[in-house]
Amino acid sequence: MRAQMFGVVLVGLVLMGGNCSRARVESMNEMNAGVELAQMKRFHEAAESLQKAGALDPTNHQAYFNLAIVQVELRSFSAAREALERAIVASPDMAGYHEKLGTVLIELEDWKGAQTAFAKALEIDPSLFKAHFKLGRCSEELEDPQNALYHYTEAIKTGPRFLPSYSALGRLYADLRYPEQAAQVLKEAFVVAMPGTEEEANIHHLVGTVYQQQRKFDEAIAEFQAALGIVPGMSDALFSLGWTYALQGNDEEAKRYLDKYVMMAGTDAPEHYVKAARDRLADLRTESP
């Protein structure tokens, strides 16, 4: 994806190479150099060249945009935001610049700012389904679930092959205790998911959680087992399966899967889930005759 972004800029240079001022030509040359360095993953040097390109010609919005991409690679999100703001000043009608700014602001946890940026991107180009998706996330963070439902739904309408929108909408419906709507959305996601992939396993897991909330334990167990059939070490499914067996009263299977979860949980596993699994295991062993 990154190489494609840089490649688009290089094609643009060929088309723009006509009647340019000396400053513009020098700026383009520096930008070309920065793009090439970025493609070689020499990001610090790339940033220097792209900064020079912008200084030589402040109207070179592509230089600032590419500088932002490089700063994202360097995890320098404040610098990326500044570069994107300069790109937008130079070319305010580029929807992609506003969308990228919103994405950077999410990294900076500026949810209001991100919301504004995504809204501007969609004002310019209503077909940007990922902007709708990210607006949904912003709305959730800002505790506005109704707007989140709306934007996730719009993301599906405008980008029906983008699976994360289905997952987010189904999960949110489930969180809001609308299990029928959650199940319907997630079943639609199976049409989009590639068979036998981790994304299909994730959908099975989400459907299982909906059934678990409805206390349809047999159906939930079948979905968690289906997820594990695709990704045998899927930690979320191991936890959910063990927990559901415990709710069902099947202590032996509950212990088996919660033990597996605790053994396989790495450093990235949510601490409260690991603690919940260990506490439930302790209870189950205490209750055993």
pLDDT single digits (tens) 217-266? 999 999 999 999 999 999 999 999 999 999 999 999 999 999 999 988 87
pLDDT at 4 over 80: no
Can you give the pLDDT at residue 18?
Answer: 44
**pLDDT single digits (tens) 55-89:** 999 999 999 999 999 999 999 999 999 999 999 99
The mean pLDDT value for 179-202 works out to 93
* Structure-derived torsion over alpha carbons of residues 114, 120, 126, 131, reported in degrees to the nearest 10: -10
Question: What are the Cα distances from residue 156, in Å, to 111, 150, 207, 289?
Answer: 22, 10, 18, 51
Q: Rounded to two decimals, what is the model's pTM?
A: 0.82
**How far apart are alpha carbons 91 and 15 in whole angstroms?**
17
Closest C-alpha to 101, from 148, 137, 69, 54 = 69
Phi, psi of 184 (to 5 degrees): -65, -45
Angle at 96 between CA 34 and CA 138, to 5 degrees: 120
Residue with the larger pLDDT of the pair 49 and 13: 49
Q: What DSSP designation does 194 have?
A: P
Radius of gyration of the chain (CA): 24
Can you give the pLDDT at residue 20?
Answer: 64
Cβ pair 152, 132 in contact under 8 A: yes
